[in-house]
Structure 1
Amino acid sequence: MRRTLWFLLRLGLVVALAVWVAQRPGTLRLDWQGYIVQTQVGVVAAALLVLAVVAYVLVRLFLLLWRSPRRFGAGRRTSRRTRGYQALSRGFLAVASGDTAAASRLADKAEALLNEPSLTLLLSAQAAQLAGDEAAAAGHYAAMRDRGAALKQPDMAFVGLRGLALQALAAGKTRQALELAQEAQALKPKARWPLLTQFDLQARAGDWTAAATTLDALTSAKALPPETLRRHRAALLVERSRAAEAEGNQDQALALARKAHDLEPGSVPAAVQAARLLAATGSARAATRALEQAWRASPHPDLAAAWGAAGEKAGDAADPLARVKRLEALVAIDATVPEAHVALADAAVEARLWGLARGHLTRALTLRPSARVYRRLAAVAVAEHGEGPEERGHLAQAAKAAADPAWVCRSCGGVNPAWGALCAHCGGFDTLAWRLPGGAAQGSVPAETLGFLPPPEPGAEGGEGAGAGSRLSGRLPSFTLASLRPGRRS
């Protein structure tokens, strides 16, 4: 519409000018160097108009010829760039669909057409990995890292470092992966991936102090939910407390254990560790308060065992009746908790109070039947009357009863004999929950886990890596409170 109006305006101006000249007739005389030219004003006006049109056409033709090479080159570059991006997008689609041949061909085509190393090198690396050529992929990722650093493009260098680190993790080269993650963090201090990778690797290696420092950085970066961060911090504090205790630093061990319990009052391992260390210093009441707080949140056999031992003093440990009285107080807190009755029954067996033991085991069966309770009843029958039909009956019931809760990994589903910050099967950090194997969790244990690194290959890396691998294969701490396993006290 605007172009039409502009054309009509210009046409109107020309018509108005022509009318104005036509209404003012006259003669134009030019006397120059003895020559006299005389003509009408309208003819002069028409001649000027024709001259202007010719001059305009000549100028446009000149500009067209002048600009043609540049426009031709720009057109070729645009076409080349368009074809390059088409090859790039089709190449990434081929990688996603698993078409190895097409991915490699399109990666080469995109690299030939485009001057975008951050994209073409990434596609080439992924195509190489899809084809199983890890060496070529590593070369592309290394080129991204080096060219990104040279061109001052941290994003490209960061992606290259991430690719190299993931390759190192897949090969079990944990030390190299940790160094690459630290280099990536230097490029982007608030990025989530390098921090999570460092934390997981440090935790897998049992470097609890370094893992705690990295967890502080994760907290500052808000890389995980607050509840998950708090739970991870409590687990780290428990492991640091155990390490300090193993080194003979009882004061530091107690301080770390109390901090873990204050952070997560319902945590079973934190309460057990704090209570045991408090009891060792003669603070039986403080130990009992810590255990009671955790017991009300999540009753557990380890808490019951620690409760029974919390009030023992030198020379008092051999008195089974004193332990029975302490566990009666635990039952009094909540008589509907089966674990309390089982713990009291075990103490009664040690005191040879068969009737009391049988009564509480029967009560535990009415609250929640389990194979463990039936096996304890069988052990009580053998201790009191010897082997016979009563024992066989209880064992037959145990074979048909529901499974007992255990420390089960939320990542791999493996059953661990005792709690540890690391799963003994997959190496996942803070993934153990007290629950039925293959069933729902017992108590209020959150389900979030880090779960971003695969388990390392044993012995995949020499030196420090090999040490880490051997540690991952048997990473449960040396100290665990004795759980009430079937037949332990019978």
Structure 2
Amino acid sequence: MAKILTFIVLVLAIGFGFSWLADRPGVLSVVWQGQLIEMSLMVAASIIAVLVAAVMLLWWLFAAIWTSPYAARRYFRARKRDRGYQALSTGLIAAGAGNALMARKMTARAQGLISADQEPLIHLLEAQAALIEGKYDEARRKFEAMAQDPETRELGLRGLYIEARRQGAHEAAMQYAEDAAEKAPHLPWAAQAALEFRSRTGQWDDAIRLLDQQKAAHVMDRGEAERLKAVLLTAKANDKLEGDPKGARDDALQALKLAKSLVPAAIIAAKAYIREDNLRKAASVLESVWKIAPHPEVAAVYVRARSGDTAIDRLKRAEKLEALRPNNVESLFTVAHAALDAKEFAKARSKAEAAARIEPRESIFLLMADIEDSENGDQGRVRHWMAQALRAPRDPSWVADGIASEKWLPISPVTGRLDAFEWKAPFGQIEGPLENADVKEAFASLPPVAKPATPKAPEPTPAAVKPIDIPPVVTVVEKAEKPVKPISTPAPAQTSTPAPKSKETIAVPPLAETAKEEEPVPFFGGLPDDPGVKKAGSEQEPKTRLKLF
């Protein structure tokens, strides 16, 4: 653009000069070798301009002829370089697509057209081709050579870091990341990897210092940097809570300044204040966080802050939390639980029902089952709420990378990612959440309270029981012609064949009278009372069979 403007200005200046001469005519006389030459000023100016242009043209032709060998060499060298870069570009595209054969072919062509010392990307193409072919040792050597060159050091360390992680050599990977972070803290991948490594090993101060360097280098946003620093300070405070409550309190309060809704930091600060017997400041910290993000762990620490409180006192503290955040499911659940401990079943039931209508979940229905069991002992209603708990969504917990934890952790145990845990419902729920209609149906189908059965009055005992008259039992005895003796008395041996039997009806006295007249003969020590058993000393006893009518 500047050259064009300069050319335009020069043309305008020449045109202005010729116009100025045209307005001022004159004659120019020149005496050269005894000859007088006269011409006008316009002609003289035109001759001078033509001579200047001719001289410039001749100079350009001379320079072009003089520098033509160098220009030819430069042309062919540029053409060769362009072909080499074209081969290099095609090879990188082939390596990215996974075409090892094309990548190798383009690598050889690029090496023949471009010097590897002049273009470091050839080393990268060779390493990528080796990775595609599965030659990991060769690729590692290429990356190590790149790491030694100041121009390609960062690229080589990046390749070594990725290969170390792929092979499971986490210590080597962290070493490469630490080296890259020390030499180039502006690299996001190196800073993130080094930060996770220091956090995993508990080097909280080094991690905070590295995070400050990243923030100064504008590697990450200010809000993200402050959040991660608050997480690191909370983890540091958690480690110092047992041995140094004061230091843990200071770190937790600093974390709360950076992230006001960080629940673990508030809990650690409150516990530190409680150990110092400063319940007022502990309550103030918990209340400030409760106003922003009600959390059941905050409620648990707040309600049981003073160990000597009664159940009524804990209920009052729970109601204070409810006053800070009314119509909140966590507030209602906290009050319902405290009311159950205080045996105020009506309040516990009303708060639990309100919480269930806002957000039905497992713990709320289990609490309602506990209320029914403690107040009425009605197992039907208890089983009803237990069934609703099985269908309800699961309670929120600390979840990171698909892993649920009972307590908050600064890093993920799966990937090592910092600030990975979130308070939400865990995954893997079989059935979907209950709808509002289902909640209404659950309350509508609640069975009524079963009334306890009234015990019956005992029947009066009669003064005297009259004896029952037993009518005589009539039996039919099948007997022989000879009279049959009682079976308890041994019978004499019979040699003659028994006569034909005949039936005869006889009267048998009542059982009571028979028991008075004859005492029962025990089985052991006497003969068996089975008519079919032979008696000693006789071949065959008369057969007697009784039939009761």
TM-score by length of 2: 0.62
Q: Secondary structure at the match of 1:282?
A: coil
Distance 1:113 1:391, change over 3 A: same
Which of the residues 186, 189, 193 maps onto 1:193? 189
With 129-138 and 324-333 compared, the bigger mean Cα shift is at 129-138
What is the alpha-carbon distance in structure 2 between the residues aligned to residue 186 and residue 357 of structure 1? 59
Deviations 1:34-93 (A, max 9, x none): xxxxxxxxxxxxxxxxxxxxxx9xx98x967x965x666545533332221111100111
Q: Does 1:273 align with 2:268?
A: yes
Which residue does the alignment assign to 1:38?
Answer: none
What is the alpha-carbon distance in structure 2 between the residues aligned to residue 334 and residue 183 of structure 1? 50
Which of the residues 288, 310, 335 maps onto 2:283? 288
After TM superposition, give the deviation of residue 201 of structure 1 in Å: 1.8
What is the alpha-carbon distance in structure 2 between the residues aligned to residue 243 and residue 105 of structure 1? 57
What is the alpha-carbon distance in structure 1 between the residues aligned to residue 133 and residue 367 of structure 2? 58
Of structures 1 and 2, the one scoring higher in RCO (CA 8 A, sep 6+) is 1
Q: Which amino acid aligns with 1:367?
A: I
For 1:61-210, what aligned pairs fall within 5 Å after superposition?
68=69, 73-115=73-115, 116-146=118-148, 148-149=149-150, 153=151, 156-210=152-206
Q: Secondary structure at the match of 2:417?
A: coil
Q: Secondary structure at the match of 1:140?
A: helix
Q: Secondary structure at the match of 2:398?
A: strand
Q: Does 1:432 align with 2:421?
A: yes
Q: Secondary structure at the match of 2:168?
A: coil
Which residue does the alignment assign to 1:379?
Answer: 370
After TM superposition, give the deviation of residue 387 of structure 1 in Å: 6.3
What is the alpha-carbon distance in structure 2 between the residues aligned to residue 109 and residue 382 of structure 1? 83
Deviations 1:82-117 (A, max 9, x none): 221111100111122222221232223223321234
Which residue does the alignment assign to 1:350?
Answer: 341
Which of the residues 397, 406, 410 maps onto 2:397? 406
What is the alpha-carbon distance in structure 2 between the residues aligned to residue 381 and residue 224 of structure 1? 54
After TM superposition, give the deviation of residue 347 of structure 1 in Å: 2.5
Which residue does the alignment assign to 1:35?
Answer: none
Q: Secondary structure at the match of 1:80?
A: helix
Deviations 1:210-246 (A, max 9, x none): 1111111111112112111111111111110111124
Q: What is the number of residues matched between the two proteins? A: 376
Q: Secondary structure at the match of 2:399?
A: strand
What is the alpha-carbon distance in structure 2 between the residues aligned to residue 345 and residue 426 of structure 1? 39
What is the alpha-carbon distance in structure 1 between the residues aligned to residue 219 and residue 186 of structure 2? 9
Which residue does the alignment assign to 1:363?
Answer: 354
Which residue does the alignment assign to 1:219?
Answer: 215
Name the structure where helix makes up a greater proportion of residues.
1
What is the alpha-carbon distance in structure 1 between the residues aligned to residue 257 and residue 71 of structure 2? 73
Q: Which amino acid aligns with 1:173?
A: A
Q: Does 1:422 align with 2:411?
A: yes
After TM superposition, give the deviation of residue 165 of structure 1 in Å: 1.7
With 222-231 and 102-111 compared, the bigger mean Cα shift is at 102-111
What is the alpha-carbon distance in structure 2 between the residues aligned to residue 107 and residue 387 of structure 1? 81
After TM superposition, give the deviation of residue 256 of structure 1 in Å: 0.9
Q: Which amino acid aligns with 1:382?
A: D
Q: Point out where structure 1 has 5 or more consecutive residues left out of the alignment.
A: 6-23, 25-55, 440-490
Which of the residues 239, 257, 275 maps onto 2:252? 257
Q: Which amino acid aligns with 1:78?
A: A
Q: Which amino acid aligns with 1:393?
A: H
After TM superposition, give the deviation of residue 251 of structure 1 in Å: 1.7
What is the alpha-carbon distance in structure 1 between the residues aligned to residue 344 and residue 132 of structure 2? 68
What is the alpha-carbon distance in structure 1 between the residues aligned to residue 104 and residue 373 of structure 2? 72
Deviations 1:410-440 (A, max 9, x none): xx3443332211123332210222223469x
Which residue does the alignment assign to 2:327?
Answer: 336
What is the alpha-carbon distance in structure 2 between the residues aligned to residue 126 and residue 84 of structure 1? 18
Paired-residue identity, %: 28
Which of the residues 293, 312, 325 maps onto 2:316? 325
Deviations 1:433-469 (A, max 9, x none): 2223469xxxxxxxxxxxxxxxxxxxxxxxxxxxxxx
After TM superposition, give the deviation of residue 196 of structure 1 in Å: 2.1
Q: Does 1:303 align with 2:298?
A: yes
1:299·1:339 contact (CA, 8 Å) conserved in 2? yes
RMSD across aligned positions (CA):
3.2
Distance 1:260 1:354, change over 3 A: same
Deviations 1:109-150 (A, max 9, x none): 22332123421011111222233322222111111112x23x
1:117·1:144 contact (CA, 8 Å) conserved in 2? no
Distance 1:417 1:112, change over 3 A: farther
2:245·2:275 contact (CA, 8 Å) conserved in 1? no
Q: Which amino acid aligns with 2:261?
A: G
After TM superposition, give the deviation of residue 382 of structure 1 in Å: 2.8
After TM superposition, give the deviation of residue 292 of structure 1 in Å: 1.0
1:261·1:290 contact (CA, 8 Å) conserved in 2? no
2:241·2:272 contact (CA, 8 Å) conserved in 1? no
Which residue does the alignment assign to 2:381?
Answer: 390
What is the alpha-carbon distance in structure 2 between the residues aligned to residue 417 and residue 426 of structure 1? 18
After TM superposition, give the deviation of residue 336 of structure 1 in Å: 0.5
Q: Secondary structure at the match of 1:206?
A: coil
What is the alpha-carbon distance in structure 2 between the residues aligned to residue 301 and residue 425 of structure 1? 26
Q: Which amino acid aligns with 1:125?
A: A
After TM superposition, give the deviation of residue 346 of structure 1 in Å: 2.2
What is the alpha-carbon distance in structure 1 between the residues aligned to residue 135 and residue 382 of structure 2? 63
